[in-house]
Structure 1
Amino acid sequence: MQTHFTDADLQKPHIQEAERILRTCVHCGFCNATCPTYQLLGDERDGPRGRIYLMKELLESRDDDDQVTAETRLHLDRCLTCRNCETTCPSGVEYHKLLDIGRAEIERRVPRSTAERAQRYALRKILVDPKRFKALLKLGQTFKPLVPGKLRSKMPPPPVDAGQRPDSQRHARKVLILEGCVQPGLSPNTNAATARLLDRLGISVTPISEAGCCGAIDFHLNAQDDGRARMRANIDAWWPHIEQGAEAIVQTASGCGAFVKEYGDMLKGDSAYAAKAQKVSALAKDLVEVLRDESLEKLQLKEQQRLAFHCPCTLQHAQKLNGAVEEVLNKLGFALTPVKDSHLCCGSAGTYSITQPELSMQLRDNKLNALEAGNPEVIVTANIGCQTHLSSAGRTPVRHWVEVVDAALV
C-alpha cells in the first residue's frame, strides 16, 4: 500500500511505525473473510482492510481536516482486536500495532462525549484494582436485584472456593504467576488449581502481590502511558525473583499472557526498561506452554467429563497456541467435542462486551451455539474474560480448563 506522509511526519516514531505496517498491506481482502464484525455487519469499514484505509487517511491528514470524524472512531471502536486477520493475512500485516496508533490518534483529534469518557475512566479504575473490583463485585452480588439491567446480566454468581495452595517454597523449580486484576474476584480457583497442578509436577508457584494488572485494560482504552506505567511496575516486582532463577512467568488468562509477551516491544524505546522488558517477555508463558513440556503421565486422573474447548483469540491469534490446550487435554484423557468456526471471537475482547454490548451479545450467542453443538457437559476456556462472557448467557457451565483438570486429579 502506498503512503503519502510528509518528511516532517516521518520524523515521528509512531508515523514511522505506521508507514512500515501500511506498506506491508496489499489490500487483498483475505482478512475480511475471517473478521467477526465484518461478517455481522457487512460494512467494508468494519473489516480490517477498511479500517486500515481509515487509519491511513487519518494519519496522513492534517489536524484541522474535517473529514476525520466520530464515525471514523466508531469503526475503530467496533474492532475486537481479536487478531484473526493477522492469522489470515498472507503479508504479515501487524494490524494490532497499527490499530493502537490509529486509536491513540483519533482519541487526540476527536474528543469523546463526557458520558463515554466517564465510562472508560470508570472501567479503568474499577477493573485494574483487584481489591476494589472484588469489593464492588461482592456488593453487586449481594444487591443484584437493584443492579441496572445491563450490568445485572454480567453479574456472575459467587465463585467456586479456591481451596488451598501448596507451599510456594516446596520445590527447587519455581515459576512466578500473574494473579491478574479481575480473575481473583471472578474465579479465584483458577490460579489455586494451577498451583496444585504444577505442584504435582514438581514446580512451585510464587505469587507476587506487588504485580498488578498487566496494563492491557489501560492501554486498549487509550490510556497508553498508564498502561506502560503498569508494565514497568510489574517488571520491578518480578525482577528480584527473575534474578533468583524463576524459570517462567505463568499466565492463566491468555489476554494477560499475550500482553506481557509484548512488553519487550512496547518498552523498546525506554532505555531504563528495554532489556528487562525483553527478558520478561521471553519468560512469559501461558500455562499450557509449561504443561506440554512436562511428563503428564505422572498425573493420575479419575473419570473425566465431556468438554468443548473455546480457544480465546489471545491464545490462538496473538500467542499462536491454537491446538495446544486441546493436545494437553487429549493426552490427559478428556473427550473433546468438535467446535465449528473455532477461529471466531466470542465477543468478550476485554471491555468490548461493555462498550459494544449489541455486537458482543451476537458474537457470544453464535459462539455458544457452535460450542454446544456437540452436547458437552462443560465448556472450558483459557481466559477469564471469555469465561465470564460465555457464562453470562446462563447456558452450559463454563470454567477454566485447569480447574477441570485439577478437579479430576486422584
Structure 2
Amino acid sequence: MKRLLEKWSQWSLVKQIIVGLILGIILAVTIPEAAQPVAILGTLFVGSLKAIAPVLVLILVMSAIAQHKRGNQTNMKSIIVLYLIGTFAAGLIAVIISFIFPVSLTLAKGAEGLTPPGGVVEVLQTLLLNVVDNPIKAIYNANYIGILAWAILLGLALRNAADTTKTMITNFADAVSKMVRWVIMLAPFGIMGLVFESITANGMEALLGYGKLLAVLIGCMLIVALVVNPIIVYVMIRQNPYPLVLKCLKESGITAFFTRSSASNIPVNMRLCENLGLNKDSYSVSIPLGATINMAGAAVTISVLTLAAVHTLGIQVDIPTAIILSVLSAISACGASGVAGGSLLLIPLACSLFGIPADVAMQVVGVGFIIGVLQDSFETALNSSTDVLFTAAAEFKEMRKAGKEININKVA
C-alpha cells in the first residue's frame, strides 16, 4: 500500500484526475446502486472549493495590493481588454455558426417559476449593487464582485500599514494558499464522485433529442477555445500559442468541466498561474475578476439558443441585428454569474430583441436545462480556462515588449 501511495503521489494531477474520471464511469456503468456513496465525494470536493474560494480571493487580493510597490506592473488593463474582446468574439462566432447551421427546437416546458432579468440595465444594476454589498454577506453568498471591491479597498487602506501588519497578512495569504493546495490534492476523488453522480442521475438519453443543438453549441465553444483564443494570444505574444492554450485547457478546463462552477475553479486557476510563474499582483485580481466578467461560453450559449428560438419561429434576422445580438450577448454574459440560473436566464433578455414572447423564451430556457449537463460543463471549462490564458498572454506580451525571452514550450 505504501509503495502504491508513493507511485500515486509521483503522478501529475491531470493523470490522477483521468484515473478518477475512468473509475467514476466504470462504477456508474457497472454497479451504480452499490457504489452510490461515491457520489458524496463530488459534493464534498465542490463544497470545499466553494467554501475556500471567497476567503482566498479576499485575502490574496488584499495582500497583493497592500504589498504592491509603486512602479510595479500589473497588466490589468490588458487583461480586462482581452476579457472583453474574447467575450464579444465568442458571441460573434456563435451568431455566424448559427446562421450557417440553423437549429430548430421542439420547445419544452421546465423553466416555470423562474424570473429572468428585465433587461440589460437590470443586469448591470445588479452588478453595481453587488459592488456595495456587505462584506460578510458577500463572502457568505460568494459575491465575487463585492469581495473584490472590499479586498481592493482594504488593500489600498493597508498600503501604509506597519511592516509587521503586512507580514501578518502575507502569512494569512500563505496559509490559505496551502489549504487550497490540500483541497486540490483531493480533485481525483472529487471528479470520480462528480462523474458517477452525473451519469447515474442524468444519463444520456435526454440529450439525444437535442443532438444538433448540442453539436452547434459545443462546436462554437471548441472553435473559440482552439481557433479564436489562440489567434488572440498569438497577436499578443507572436509565438505558437497552442502549448499555453492546451495547458490551460488541460489543467483548468478539466476541473471546471466537472465542477461546472467558475467560482469553484478559482483556487485551481490561482495554482496554475503560480505554476506558470505569473505575477501574483496581476493574477490575484484577474482570476476572480475573470470568473465574473470573462464569459465567452455564456455568450455562446445566449447567442445560439436565442437564434435557435428565432429559427424555430421563422423570424427573419438581418446582419445589423445579428451584430447587435453579439454585443448584447457579450454584455449580458458579463452579468451571468450575478443572476440565479447563470447564462440560461439571460436568454429571454436576448429573445426580447426579436420580439419573442416571454413564455416562449422561457420554454427555450427549459431546453437549456435539459441539455445543461453538457452545455454548462463545456461553457464553464471555456470560461475558466480562458481566465488563465488571457492573464498569461498579457504578461508574456509585456515580457516580449521588454525584450525578455519567452519560451512558451516550457509551459507544456
TM-score (norm 1): 0.29
Q: More helix per residue: 1 or 2? A: 2
Q: More strand per residue: 1 or 2? A: 1
> Greater relative contact order: 1 or 2 (C-alpha under 8 angstroms, separation 6 or more)?
2
